Amino acid sequence: MKPLCLIKVVFCFLTFKNFQLTSILSINLLMYKLTLNTSYKHHIIVALIISLWLVLFLVFIAPFDASDLNFRLRLAILPMYGLISFITYMLLIPFQNWVFKRFKKWIIPLEAIFIIVFNGIQIIGSYSYYKTEIVNGEYNFQTFVFFVYLPIGLIILPIIILSRWF
């Protein structure tokens, strides 16, 4: 066998072994148990942090068409999104605690599902408020999700994760 072919075979073998090792590590990481705080007091604080941060971001940064509104109007209209966020988060805590008691552990996939469900419900609540006569939003649901909620959701995601685990 030529030396170059031997190098290719060894490289392929090592790459495959590395892939298997990476896959095993990834699966083990996904099954890593997280320490979940089931205290309602803790989660009220988390919900307040998320909601207040969202309101401050919306009122002071004024992303998208909110920048067209004067400050007083933003202060009157936008805090409702923080309230929607707070209510959505707190509604999910009993479900989260039930899942935790049932499985006796909290793992990364369950945390991801929690965050996805939280955002899904929050999208519906936020869009419902957006279409009221108070806000009188013009975007359809798809445009709202992809061009309004998703960018803000990606900005607030680290706040959600950090406030839940630190």
Alpha-carbon distance of 103 to 23, in angstroms, equals: 24
**Domain extents in the chain:** 1-30, 34-165
Residue 15: per-residue pLDDT: 52
Mean pLDDT (the chain, rounded): 86
Residue 116: per-residue pLDDT: 96
Taking a C-beta distance cutoff of 8 angstroms, is the pair 86, 50 a contact?
A: yes
Q: Convert the pLDDT of each residue in 104-144 to its tens digit.
A: 999 999 999 999 999 999 999 999 999 999 999 999 999 99
Locus of tokens 């604080």:
45
Alpha-carbon distance of 14 to 12, in angstroms, equals: 6
136: left (phi over 0), alpha (psi -120 to 50) or beta: left
